[in-house]
Amino acid sequence: MDGFTRRRALTGALAAGWFAAALALPSAQSRTQAKPDPAPVAQAARPDSADLDAIARIKEEALQRSQVMDTLWYLTDVHGPRLTNSPGLKAAATWAQGRLRDWSVPNVREETWGPFGRGWANEKLTAQVLAPRPFPLIAAPRAWTPGTDGTVTGEAVVTAIRTDADFATWTGKLSGKVVLNQPAVDIPLLTTPLARRFTDQDLVDLQVQPVNPGRGRGARAGGPPTAAGFTERLNQFFAREGVVATLEPGTGRNNRGTILVNNAPATYWSANPPMMTPQLVVSSEQYNRLVRLVDGKVPVRLELNVQNRFVGDSLDAFNIVAELPGTDKAAEVVMLGAHFDSWHSGTGAADNAAGSAAMMEAMRILKATGLRLRRTVRLVLWTGEEQGLLGSQAYVKEHFGDPVTMTLKPEHARVSVYFNMDNGSGAIRGVYLQGNEAVRPIFATWMEPFRSLGMTTMAIRSVASTDHRSLDAIGIPAFQFIQDPLDYGSNAHHTNNDVYERVQPEDMMKNAAIAASFVYHAAVRDELLPRKPLPRPQPQPRPASTQ
């Protein structure tokens, strides 16, 4: 037993249990082995316990000397937004690597993946209604769409092109027009709070294992499906017809000036994108006003100036990697991470500067406390998440294996666990076990000292739609924490309102402490964390949505 092991704060019944196990094992082995084991105690896996000395140091550093909101400020106000391969992302990445080095975190680097596609940034946008009354629009371009040719004006036209058969109706009628091809949005009265924390009952409900009910007889999905490739054909039709720009309502997050903006179809960030017109997402109420005016035969004229810049110097993208080296188990790895990229109409604060800043802070805490890590601790800040977990999938394929064939690489066997953070800035209330019952008693022990910070709950359910899913899919234990919802889903996620104010400082400080502690305990544990059975070979995971 080295000095470090003695320092571990084994307490109460857990400590008594460990000593009993440690004492019992050699005699049990001596009955079955001719030669005495030279180091039987070292080979005995101790029951898990929370290292209260380490946790006290972690809490002190995280809650009294936090830098997490300073990190968040740089990632949002200064360098945000951070669309994959955009100039903002690259500036933020350079800053983050510098900050990690300032904290004396070694082995900070970019790890290239790709090809992804072109970088893109909006550099100017004015969207002004000129008539019947002048007013400015709350608007943002869809990512990877082209800008206008300087300042352009056009009359608003409301179309209803829903299928290929509708193209003929509008051929020759849209040149020089600003097209509104979606109906007005129904905007219900808001009668529930925009933001909330989990209640005790919510946390109880989360612990129930969901069962897939199947679709049952007669069940039908709602609405007719859009024909394959229709959106691309529609965009090309508008471009061929000489449309100035298209407008659409930015609905999806309660409206009221909040616009949800993502990208045009995936092919548009490729090196050779198809034809398309500028595409602007505008506030739903303003969109409805324009539709009502046109329907009422009141002519609407708009003036637009959208300057979007494509950056084509490299089609490759990169993840950011930083490592704290381990000691006696340095070849084994404990991973933590978050996606670093964001959408572009806000500054990507809750999604996901919050997760990135908390995980960077966890690295700072581990370094600043000087706690001895047995395994190497590796931070990865992913890119391409919002386009389909692309950065983490590429990393898994490079390092761990191919989930399509389940052909594994040697590094697969040396990773204990990956902790991900991508549920906004809400305080951690527990952890999703991702279907892995074997980690429940271990996490219960690690979680107990954080009960006073509100972390009480383990939910067996699996959650998807973010980067831990890429590691889970290859059979590496990978987890997301349960976080208070706050106003993440109602107001922030993927919107122009995802800015610095959406992030709650105290929650962030708690989250960094918990992440640092879970990572620490995984890094000093005798064994790797238990795994689920290996997944079967599977088609390349293509999540329906990302977070």
In the complex, the smallest distance separating the C-beta of residue 542 from Zn ion, rounded to whole angstroms, is: 17
Nearer to Zn ion, 352 or 425 (CB): 352
Given the complex with Zn ion, which of 171 and 545 has the nearer CB atom? Answer: 545
Among 258, 288, 308, 352, binds Zn ion (CB under 5 A): 352
Q: What angle do CA 505, 507, 508 make, to 5 degrees?
A: 65
Contact stretch for Zn ion (CB under 5 A) within 57-65, 350-358, 408-416, 435-443: 350-358
Q: How far is the CB of 339 from Zn ion (least distance, A)?
A: 5
Strands 478-483 and 428-432, bridge-based pairing: antiparallel
CB closer to Zn ion, 332 vs 422: 422
For Zn ion, the closer CB: 352 or 511: 352
Q: Quick one: which segment of 14-22, 177-185, 229-237, 351-359 binds Zn ion (CB under 5 A)?
A: 351-359
Q: Quick one: 279 or 547, whose CB is closer to Zn ion?
A: 547
Q: Which is nearer to Zn ion, 286 or 480 (CB)?
A: 480
Counting residues that bind Zn ion (by CB under 5 A) gives 4
Q: How far apart are CA 81 and CA 348, in angstroms?
A: 6
Closest distance of CB 351 from Zn ion, Å: 4
Pick between residue 288 and residue 462 the one whose CB is nearest to Zn ion.
Answer: 462
Site residues (CB under 5 A) for Zn ion, limited to 364-423:
422
Q: What is the closest distance, in whole angstroms, from the C-beta atom of residue 349 to Zn ion in the complex?
A: 11
- Looking at the DSSP assignment, which residues form a beta bridge with residue 110? 320
Looking at the Cβ atoms of 90 and 469, the one nearer to Zn ion is 469
Which is nearer to Zn ion, 59 or 469 (by Cβ)?
469
Q: Least separation, in Å, of the C-beta of 547 and Zn ion? A: 4
What are the CB-based long-range contacts (under 8 Å, 24+) for 399-405? 400/471, 400/474, 400/476, 401/474, 403/473, 403/474, 403/535, 403/537, 403/538, 403/540, 403/541, 404/537, 404/538, 404/539, 404/540, 405/537
Between 351 and 484, name the residue whose CB sits nearer to Zn ion.
351
The per-residue b/e assignment along 425-443, b for 16 or more CB within 10 angstroms, e otherwise, is: bbbbbbbbbbebeebeebb
Q: Shortest distance, CB of residue 290 to Zn ion, whole angstroms?
A: 31
The residue among 113 and 343 lying less far from Zn ion, judged by its C-beta, is 343
Task: State in angstroms the smallest separation of the CB of 60 from Zn ion.
Answer: 30
Closest CA to 204 of 435, 445, 457, 429: 457
Here the contacts of 229-236 (C-beta below 8 Å, separation 24 or greater) are 230/163, 230/164, 231/265, 232/265, 232/267, 232/274, 233/164, 233/167, 234/161, 234/181, 235/264, 235/265, 235/274, 235/275, 235/276, 235/277, 235/279, 236/274, 236/275, 236/276
Give me the least distance between CB of 480 and Zn ion, in Å please.
11
Q: Which of residues 157-176 bind Zn ion (CB under 5 A)?
A: none
The tokens for 204 are: 């109880």
* Residue whose C-alpha is closest to residue 248's, from 335, 161, 354: 161
Binding mask 68-107 for Zn ion (x = CB under 5 A): ----------------------------------------
CA atoms of 122 and 103, how far apart (whole Å):
33
Q: Give dist(CA 202, CA 30) in Å, integer.
A: 51
* Radius of gyration, CA atoms only, the chain: 26
Report residue 334 as tokens: 């404990």
Q: Is 547 one of the binding residues for Zn ion (CB under 5 A)?
A: yes
Candidates 336, 413, 340; CA nearest to 378 is: 336
Q: Segment 414-433, which members bind Zn ion (CB under 5 A)?
A: 422
CA distances, 138 to each of 124, 141, 246, 339 (Å): 13, 11, 14, 27
Taking the complex as a whole, the smallest distance from the CB of residue 334 to Zn ion amounts, in Å, to: 22
**Per-residue tokens: 286:** 């303003």
Whole-number minimum distance, CB 543 to Zn ion, in Å?
Answer: 12
As beta bridge partners, residue 180 has 158, 247
Q: Contact letters (x/-) for Zn ion, 305-344, by CB under 5 A?
A: ----------------------------------------
Of 51, 332, 351, 487, the residue at the interface with Zn ion (CB under 5 A) is 351
Which CB sits closer to Zn ion, 248 or 351?
351
Let me know if 366 is exposed, middle or buried by CB neighbors in 10 A (0-12, 13-18, 19+). Answer: buried
Beta bridge pairs of residue 141: 280
User: 337 with 381: CB under 8 angstroms?
Assistant: yes
Nearest distance from C-beta of residue 338 to Zn ion, angstroms: 8
In whole angstroms, the minimum distance from the beta carbon of 466 to Zn ion comes to 6
Spatial distance between the Cα atoms of 335 and 449, rounded to a whole number of angstroms: 22
- Output the six-digit token pair for 188: 């219900």
- Which residues bind to Zn ion, rule: CB under 5 A? 351-352, 422, 547
